[in-house]
Each structure stands twice: as C-alpha cells, then as structure tokens.
C-alpha cells in the first residue's frame, strides 16, 4: 500500500529523492542539464508529496504557484524499482487535488523530449501539449503540457 504525505522542501526524504532525480536528469540531459537545473531548485517549495511504501520513500512530486490560477508541477520522480506500478499517477493526482483545494484551476508543466516515460505519464493523465512557456520558450528539448482541473 502506498502512503502519500503532503510536505514541503524541508522534508529530508524529498531532498534525497530530488537528489536522485537530478542525477538521472544530468545523465539524460547531458550538456543541457545546467540550463534546466537553474529552474529546479526546491528550497522554497511549499507544496510537495512524497510517496512511501513500507515506510520507505519511493517517489515524489511538487508544485509551485505559476500565476493566480495555475500551479506548475515540478520534481516528479519514482525510484527505478518502483516504476510501472501507477505511483507517479497517484502522486500527480494528489498534487492536482491539492491545487484544486487551493482554488487553482490549471496545472502546467515542462518535461524533456529525452524523457519518454514522463511524456507518456502526462498524456495518459489528461495533460495536453501547449506552447512552451516562460523560460522554456524556444528551448528545443522542452515540451510543455497543461491540464484544467476544475
């Protein structure tokens, strides 16, 4: 049974999972990693979810306010041995529900074209491609998605 904990960027399990995520992304993104890394700091994230199985942290996700109506989904990660079990979808759904509780009506996110699992995850969970936004405008490796949640 997966247990989801709402927390923030001070959670030690979140910090460790994000460290693993960053290592994975550094390998996938290669020379592009430094560009993306500047936008993925978690030190001020107020809204994050950590997934646990048998008291062990196995996945995470976070969100931050993008504008008055929109939360931006960030830092989605599931450890390799727990993938393919629907955990990322559970985390994503928990973030969407939390955003809705906070009166946001849209979730927005960016992922890399070198992350086919992430693209598949977002597509199967009702996210639709949109024009790249903000710092991702004109970035060849980026693909952005949105989902209306209210």
Q: pTM (2 decimals)? A: 0.90
Q: How many CB atoms lie within 10 A of CB 129?
A: 12
Task: For residue 106, name the pLDDT band (cuts at 50, 70, 90).
Answer: very high
Mean pLDDT, rounded, for 13-20 = 93
Name the 3-class secondary structure at 77: strand
Hey, which residues does 49 pair with through a beta bridge? 6, 61
The topology under which CATH files domain 2-148 is Aminopeptidase (3.40.630)
Residue 70 · residue 107 · CB < 8 Å? yes
What is the average per-residue pLDDT within 61-67? 96
Alpha-carbon distance 111 to 116, whole Å? Answer: 9
Domain ranges in the chain are 2-148
Rounded Cα distance between 95 and 72, Å, is 10
Q: How far is Cα 116 from Cα 75, in angstroms, rounded to an integer?
A: 16
């Amino acid at each position: 049974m997966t247990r989801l904990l709402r927390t923030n960027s001070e959670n030690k399990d979140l910090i460790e999972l994000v460290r693993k995520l960053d290592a994975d992304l550094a390998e996938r993104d290669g020379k592009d990693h430094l560009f993306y890394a500047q936008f993925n700091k978690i030190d001020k994230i107020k809204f994050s979810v950590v997934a646990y199985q048998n008291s062990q942290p196995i996945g995470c996700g976070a969100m931050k306010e993008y504008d008055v109506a929109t939360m931006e989904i960030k830092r989605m990660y599931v450890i390799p041995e727990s993938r393919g079990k629907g955990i990322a979808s559970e985390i994503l759904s928990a973030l969407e529900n939390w955003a809705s509780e906070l009166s946001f009506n849209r979730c927005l996110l960016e992922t890399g074209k070198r992350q086919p699992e992430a693209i598949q995850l977002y597509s199967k969970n009702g996210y639709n491609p949109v024009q790249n936004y903000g710092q991702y405008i004109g970035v060849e490796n980026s693909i952005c998605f949105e989902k209306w949640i209210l």
